[in-house]
Amino acid sequence: MNKEPSFAGSFYPETQEELYKILDSYKEPSRDVFKSKAIIVPHAGYIYSGRCAMTGFQNFEPSENIFIFAPSHHETFTNIAMPEYTYFDTPLGSIEVNNRLIKEIAEEYPCIVSNVPFEQEHAIEVQLPFLQDILFPQKQSAIDFVKNLKKIGKKIRIIPILVGRCDYHLISDIISEYWENSSFIISSDLSHFYTKEMAEQIDMYTAVIIETGKIDCFQNEQACGLIGIKGLVDFANKNNYSLIRAELYNSGDVTGETERVVGYGSWFLYPDKKNSFIEKYYKQYILNITRQSILHALNDKDFYPEDVPSAMLEYGASFVTLNIDGQLRGCIGSIYPTKPLIQDLIYNSRNAAFCDPRFIPLTPEEYDRIDISVSILSSIERIKFKDEKDLLSKIYPHGIIISEGDKRAVYLPVVWEQLPDREVFLNSLKEKAGLPPTYFSRTFEAYKFSTTYIKEKEEEYRKL
């Protein structure tokens, strides 16, 4: 039994030619930096959320089995629902349903198996043309054609799952159980029908929660597919993975409407920490940004780059360090992430060059002589200790923050290269905070963090 398309001609075009045309219009050649087995993408009409969805799908790596988790907008039930259909049809063809796997899941997890919840549900159907297009695009370059030859004969099956009233651990458990041979699509829009200004605030808050894994901070009104999102975030947390932002905007950015808008976001799962992703794919970009920030300031110009990668719009904390001939020339940074990483880098670059109170402002003559290094901080973790001896045993090789009353100081992990002795390191940090090196008390606090260290080599940077 085939599930015929219910929303062709309304949510998306009903002819192959029109559908391929609109999908091609959303593609960005430089967008698919990394291929991921799990994505979060929106499910609204293509004219509203299509570009956002495509950014997610361009980072998607389909497996033999593709799970699609989506909220149920019309039917109410407990736990999850799966269909009895054999195929789902779209104007681009048919996609087979893995009925064997559905039967297996139904025997192990609480669910219903019925076609009824799927009959008028758009949240799964609108994902299918994207999936078909990335597998077998109508238009492709000669290089892409050769790359896609390996897909010929490749058989994929979908496992459509509608999510009802249930615990997000059910979604997380299914992802964990089938992770090895499967890929996962979480279908969800973000905030619904707030003013554009309020929607931007709510959706940014949602993005920060997704990207930091703070599941307990979610509220039901933040996204219609929140249970699926929480399930993927929980899976990421348990495996020390990260969700990287691909896109974030709302319908008002498309239509100009400001009174009642819907938010859209897409993310992809990265099997490591966020800062490792940034170092691997945006190292040179970050070094160029810091140089341009300083150069613009030397010429009394403001600077903010165009076409900023979405990953750089995630909140982050950084330190920018300048050296000349191996000697420190300025260092300013942020301990806590209070703004998008791109803004933090621009701010700290300018301040390291011109506002470090230990040095006079950088001169134009010195610009070509500076070596730049950037440290991107992890989250901050408080160190629990019984006494100073216990603290000393726990500070290496981390970046360390100490606090006592209104006195505070921080050393980056790189400082261990100059101060390898733990006691000397801690005493020096106390003095930096304005405390005697022998000071210690019961109210003394210490925190640790790690950094991703990006160092400039003279031959790598471009003068702009």
CATH of the domain at 230: 3.40.830.10
Q: Which of 228, 39, 1 is nearest to 119 (CA)?
A: 1
How many residues are present in the chain?
464
Q: Please check whether residues 205 and 323 belong to one and the same domain.
A: no
Q: Please check whether residues 209 and 243 belong to one and the same domain.
A: yes
CB of 212 within 8 A of CB of 94? no
pLDDT tens digits, 272-283? 999 999 999 999
Distance of CA 23 to the CA centre of its chain: 23
- Taking 50 as the threshold, does the pLDDT of residue 455 lie above it? yes
Q: What is the mean pLDDT of residues 62-77?
A: 96
The enclosing H or E element of 175 equals helix 168-178
Place of tokens 């209070």: 338
pLDDT for the residue 460: 45
Q: Please check whether residues 173 and 236 belong to one and the same domain.
A: yes
More confident site: 443 or 456:
443
Give the other-Cβ count within 10 Å of 112's Cβ: 16
Domain count of the chain?
A: 3
Instruction: Give the domain extent around 391.
Output: 381-451
Report if residue 456 sits inside a domain: no
Q: Please check whether residues 300 and 177 belong to one and the same domain.
A: no
| CA trace torsion 129, 131, 134, 137 (10° rounding) | -30
pLDDT for the residue 151: 52
Which of 272, 293, 318 terminates a domain? The answer is: 272
Q: Please check whether residues 138 and 254 belong to one and the same domain.
A: yes
Report if residue 418 sits inside a domain: yes
CATH of the domain at 417: 3.30.1490.150
Q: Please check whether residues 42 and 72 belong to one and the same domain.
A: yes
Residues paired with residue 261 on neighbouring β-strands, in sequence order:
194
CB of 422 within 8 A of CB of 339? no
**Whole-structure pTM value:** 0.89
Report if residue 461 sits inside a domain: no
Distance CA 142, CA 56 (A): 24
Q: Please check whether residues 121 and 149 belong to one and the same domain.
A: yes
Q: Which two structure tokens, joined as six digits, stand for 305?
A: 């780059």
Q: Please check whether residues 11 and 143 belong to one and the same domain.
A: yes
CB of 356 within 8 A of CB of 330? yes
Q: Please check whether residues 318 and 232 belong to one and the same domain.
A: no
Helices and strands in the chain, H and E counts: 15, 20
Distance CA 253, CA 196 (A): 9
pLDDT for the residue 146: 44
Report if residue 459 sits inside a domain: no
Distance CA 188, CA 169 (A): 17
Report if residue 463 sits inside a domain: no
Q: What is the DSSP string of 340-387?
A: BHHHHHHHHHHHHHHT-TTSPPPPHHHHTTEEEEEEEE---EEPP-SS
Q: Please check whether residues 336 and 196 belong to one and the same domain.
A: no
pLDDT for the residue 154: 62
CATH of the domain at 351: 3.30.700.20
pLDDT tens digits, 5-35? 999 999 999 999 999 999 999 998 866 679 9
Sheet of strand 451-455, all strands in order from the earlier edge strand to the far edge = 327-333, 318-324, 370-377, 451-455
Which of 272, 296, 320 terminates a domain? The answer is: 272
Strand 87-90 with 242-250, pairing: unpaired
Which of 257, 272, 287 terminates a domain? The answer is: 272
Mean of all residue pLDDT scores within the chain: 93
Q: Please check whether residues 426 and 325 belong to one and the same domain.
A: no
Distance CA 216, CA 239 (A): 18
Give the other-Cβ count within 10 Å of 443's Cβ: 8
Q: Please check whether residues 233 and 147 belong to one and the same domain.
A: yes
Q: Which of 97-101, 145-149, 421-425 has the lowest mean pLDDT?
A: 145-149
Q: What is the mean pLDDT of residues 425-448?
A: 96
Task: Sort 89 into a burial class: Cβ within 10 Å, 0-12 / 13-18 / 19+.
Answer: middle
Report if residue 462 sits inside a domain: no
- Taking 80 as the threshold, does the pLDDT of residue 287 lie above it? yes
- Taking 50 as the threshold, does the pLDDT of residue 142 lie above it? no
pLDDT for the residue 425: 97
Q: Which two structure tokens, joined as six digits, stand for 426?
A: 């801690």
Report if residue 339 sits inside a domain: yes
pLDDT tens digits, 197-249? 999 999 999 999 999 999 999 998 899 999 999 999 999 999 999 999 999 99
